[in-house]
Amino acid sequence: MNAPAQDRLEELYRARPRRWLHSISVLIALALVAGSFASPELGLVEFIDENAVSRLPHFLARECVPFPMRSGRASFSELRGWLHTLTEDKAAPGVLNTLAITTVASALAAALAFALAPFAARNFATSRPFALVFPDGRFFIRAVWRALRVLVRALFILLRAVPEYLWAFLLLAILGPSAWPAILALALHNAGILGRLGAETLENMDQAAPRSLRGLGASRAQMLAFAALPMTFNRALLYFFERFETCLREATVLGMLGIVSLGYYIEEARSRLYYDEMIFLVLSGMLLILLVDLCSWVVRSRLRRA
C-alpha cells in the first residue's frame, strides 16, 4: 500500500465516529460472559474434572456400541435383527407420532393466526381499512377498532410469551397424558408467533391493490380476500414452513414429558441406561428433521423465486 493511501486510511480512522455507549455495552457484555463462566452454579470445574473426562472413552467404546456388537463376535444377522426390532417397536412409531403431532399442531396454529392476524394489522383493523387517511371523525368506531387491535396483539404476546413446555405442563394436568397436550401447546405458542408475523406482513405490503378495490366500492372482506391475502400468501407460507420445522423439533422434546412422540422413547431409553438405543432414536429424529428441512427448503426456494 502506497504512502498516500496509508495516510488516508489513518486519517479516516482518526475521524471515525466514537460512540462510547457501544464500547461500554460491549465491555459490559464481555464482563457478563466472563462472570457467568466463573459462576459456581455452572459447575465448570466439575465439567472438566478428571473423572468426568475419563468416563468419555468408556461411554464411546462401550455404551454407544449397539448391544449385539459389544461381545465382538456378533453376526450381521443379529445386528440386523436388533435394528429391525428397535425400528419397528420404537423408532417408527415415535417418528410417525412426532410427525402427526407436528402436522396437526401447525395446522391449528396457522388457522388461528390466519383468523386473527388481520385484526392486529393497523391498516386493516381500523374504521377505514387501507385508506390513505385513517381517522374519519367517528371517535367511538375508531376506539372500538383500536381496542380490538390492542386485544388481539396482547393475545399474540401472551401466546408466544409462554413457552410451549409450560403450556404442555398445564394441559397435561387438565387433559391427562395423551397427544393433545403437546398438540395444543405447540398450536397456541406458534399461533402467537404466526399471528404477529402475519399482522406485520399485512402492514408492510404494497397497499395499492386494496386501495384500488376500496375506490371501486369493495367491502372489507373483499379487499382482504382479493388483494391482501393473495399478495401476502407466499410470505405467509414461508413463515408457516419455518414454524413447521421448529414444531417438529419441539414435538420431539415434548415427548420427554410423557407424551408419546420420539422424545418419549428417547427418555425411556435414557432412564434405562440403554444409550445405544437412545443414540439410534436420536439419529432417527435427526433424519426426520433433515428430510423435513430438505422438503421445506425446496418449497421455500420455489416460493421465493415466485
State pLDDT tens for residues 59-94: 666 667 776 776 666 677 777 887 888 888 888 888
**Is 2 a member of any domain?**
no
User: Among 135-139, 152-156, 261-265, whose mean pLDDT is lowest?
Assistant: 135-139
Instruction: Give start and end residues of each alpha helix (H) in the chain.
Output: 3-14, 20-38, 44-47, 50-58, 76-86, 92-116, 139-161, 164-175, 180-204, 208-215, 220-223, 229-254, 262-271, 275-305
State pLDDT tens for residues 180-212: 889 999 999 999 999 999 999 998 888 888 888
**Is 224 a member of any domain?**
yes
**Is 229 a member of any domain?**
yes
Q: What distance in Å separates the CA atoms of residue 181 and residue 186, rounded to the nearest whole number?
A: 8
Q: The domain spanning residue 185 has which CATH number? A: 1.10.3720.10
| pLDDT interval class at 104 (50, 70, 90) | very high
**Tally of domains in the chain:** 1
**Is 259 a member of any domain?**
yes
User: Among 57-71, 103-117, 140-154, 219-233, whose mean pLDDT is lowest?
Assistant: 57-71
- Range 258-269 average pLDDT: 84
Give residue 72's pLDDT: 65
**Residue 110 in this model has a pLDDT that exceeds 90:** yes
Give the other-Cβ count within 10 Å of 159's Cβ: 24
Position with higher pLDDT, 82 vs 281: 281
> Domain range for residue 92?
82-305
CB 165 within 8 A of CB 185: yes
Give residue 16's pLDDT: 66
**Residue 54 in this model has a pLDDT that exceeds 70:** no
The overall pTM is greater than 0.75: yes
Alpha-carbon distance values, 98 to 166, 199, 223, 263 (Å): 19, 29, 38, 8
**Is 76 a member of any domain?**
no
**Is 147 a member of any domain?**
yes
Helix (H, G, I), strand (E, B) or coil at 176: coil
CB 66 within 8 A of CB 82: yes
| pLDDT interval class at 129 (50, 70, 90) | confident
**Is 25 a member of any domain?**
no
CB 152 within 8 A of CB 124: no
259: phi > 0 → left, psi -120 to 50 → alpha, else beta; which?
beta
Q: What distance in Å separates the CA atoms of residue 36 and residue 30, rounded to the nearest whole number?
A: 10
**Is 28 a member of any domain?**
no
